[in-house]
Amino acid sequence: MNLIYIILIVILVVLTIPVLFGLLLPVFKPRLSQNGSIYLYAFSSGFFFILGVFGFLSEAKEDLIGWFELNNTPIVNQWLISISILGLVSAFVLTSSLFIKYLLVKKIGNKDAKDHGVHEGHDQHQVHNHDQLIYNPNDVDPKAKLFSILLILAHKIPGGLILGFLIFSISEKQDIDLLQIMFLVTFILHMIPEALIIFYRQIEVGIDKWKATLNSFLATMILIPFIFIGAYSSSAIHSNANFEIIFAIAKVCVGSFFIYTALIEFIPEFLHQNINAKTWYFSMIFLIIGIVSCLSIFSVHAH
């Protein structure tokens, strides 16, 4: 079968369920209750944290191991390269994301201060006064919530490329095996929590449900150009002797985005709420469900 036909079939298979799911949200559940929002963030925190650590960082380590074996890298150099890529790159991404978040919140706070006649020198974090124990920078202005959507979208670049590589492999063999089918299934499953977060995060900011639906649809479509790029560049990329190193760095960056999103963006969203004991325990249950769900998906994940 021609490569272009396989690309179109895989795009149809992979995107149909997330797109239909996204179109149903504004019709049947355009908004979440406070508890529903808490449980969604608790589930997503566990899911995204495991996705970052067990998914992308683990795969980056596997890429490095493959490169080490191919080049007979001395053990000391393996340690140094692993620490540099897994440790320093992730540290850079996490701290950079936090710094960008700080600048974003500060800019939004200063703008709101001017709009409401608050002196620019006044501490914007004091304008939002509440008795919650955990500080959440998104309280300064809900628009700061959109930053997490950008981080989620960033992973669609390597995701699309990997799908493209898979399509090229299917085209070369003119066959699809069980592991490749399982990869497509797990890829579809991991897109559903992303669709929920992208949609409801926009609703919380105040975006109209149909505009949020359109934005969510466009966010899903971001995969398509990178699927084409991955499929048509697969042969050239894999002929590069250092492609495992390049992919390892990319996966560490994406994994770090998910870790940041889980720990810094989502956890404060449900822990800083004034909730009763029952809601707290249920939120912890949903956190555990998120962890177990992602671990289950990656237990059958094929590379």
pLDDT 10s digits, 122-160: 444 444 444 444 556 666 566 778 888 988 888 888 889
- Going by C-alpha positions, the residue among 224, 221, 218 that lies closest to residue 167 is 224
The first and second tokens of residue 155, run together, are 């992973």
Does 90 map to a domain? yes
Contact 145, 204 (CB under 8 A): yes
Does 197 map to a domain? yes
Rounded-to-10 torsion of CA 149, 150, 153, 154? -140
Does 202 map to a domain? yes
- What CA–CA distance (Å, rounded) separates 107 from 102? 9
Judge residue 289's burial from the number of C-beta atoms within 10 Å of its C-beta, 0-12 exposed, 13-18 middle, 19 or more buried. middle
Does 217 map to a domain? yes
The first and second tokens of residue 225, run together, are 């150009």
Number of domains comprising the chain: 1
- Going by C-alpha positions, the residue among 55, 20, 16 that lies closest to residue 213 is 20
194: number of CA atoms within 13 Å, CB side? Answer: 28
Does 18 map to a domain? no
Does 58 map to a domain? no
pLDDT for 28 equals: 93
- What CA–CA distance (Å, rounded) separates 156 from 268? 25
pLDDT for 102 equals: 87
pLDDT for 125 equals: 45
Stretches where the chain sits below pLDDT 70 are 108-142, 300-303
Does 16 map to a domain? no
What does the radius of gyration of the chain's CA atoms come to, in whole angstroms? Answer: 21
Does 50 map to a domain? no
Q: Which domain holds residue 238?
A: 3-7+73-125+132-299
Contact 144, 105 (CB under 8 A): yes
State residue 72 phi and psi, 5-degree precision.
50, 50
